[in-house]
Amino acid sequence: MTRAPEASRRAKHVVILCHPDEDSFNASVARTYCEAVSKIGHEAVLRDLYRIGFDPVLKATEQPGRTDFQLSSDVADELDLIQGADAFVLVYPIWFGTPPAMMKGYVERVLGSGFSHRAVRARQYHPMLSGSRLLSFTSSGTTKQWLEEQGAWRSLRHLFDQYIAQAFSLEKHEHIHFSAIVDGLKPRFIEENLEQVRQEARKLCSELALHASR
């Protein structure tokens, strides 16, 4: 099962940003991506987790599969906002080899809301995410080579990207990483990286448009 945006509506990109500094490189990546898809005519929905004060802590009654399962009001609001997304774009720094806890909490509370481990094992289609695209932009203060040497990069790709894509029936997943993102970066270096973000945004928009025309 795949999902493509209907020709009569704009494709919807949900950009989920997770970084405590609103002036961070990651924030620039998220804004740049939204601007790029908006210029093409697609819809961009930015969810800046720190700015909206997202609570990443899963409540006992939110555990999928419980007979007394209850959808919390903040999660219900998020689901309404991201409903109908054709692409989910995750933007976050790699901390200690993993995504920030708030990003993991968003996956657990929102993207995985009501979707149990039994559904994952049975390869059931996710009612909201099935057929969507997953694109990740990450950054690290060290190099990608160092992450690979430590086994962190392979673990992240396998245990986070690939697992999410498989569990939620996502159609395709890509991961763009920016290395050596530290204080005092030269403007030219930052702009070169942001141009790559624009290119990836245009590429995904083209793929979605092609999908819609079939």
Cβ(115)–Cβ(126) under 8 Å? Answer: yes
pLDDT score of 190 more than 70: yes
pTM: 0.92
Fold classification of 12-60+72-213 is Rossmann fold (3.40.50)
pLDDT exceeds 70 at position 127 = yes
Report how far residue 82's alpha carbon sits from residue 138's, in angstroms, rounded to the nearest whole number. 21
How far is it, in rounded angstroms, from Cα 94 to Cα 141?
A: 9
- Beta strands 87-93 and 172-178: pairing type? unpaired
Which of 89, 97, 55 is CA-nearest to residue 197?
89
Residue 206 has φ and ψ, to the nearest 5°, of -65, -40
Query: What is the number of other CB atoms lying within 10 angstroms of the CB of residue 100?
Result: 20
Contact between residue 169 and residue 206 where contact means Cβ atoms under 8 Å apart: no
Q: Give the list of residues 6+ apart from residue 34 with CB closer than 8 angstroms, or none.
A: 13, 15, 44, 46
**Residue 213 confidence (pLDDT):** 72
Can you give the pLDDT at residue 186? 95
Instruction: Kindly tell me if the per-residue pLDDT of 80 is higher than 60.
Output: yes
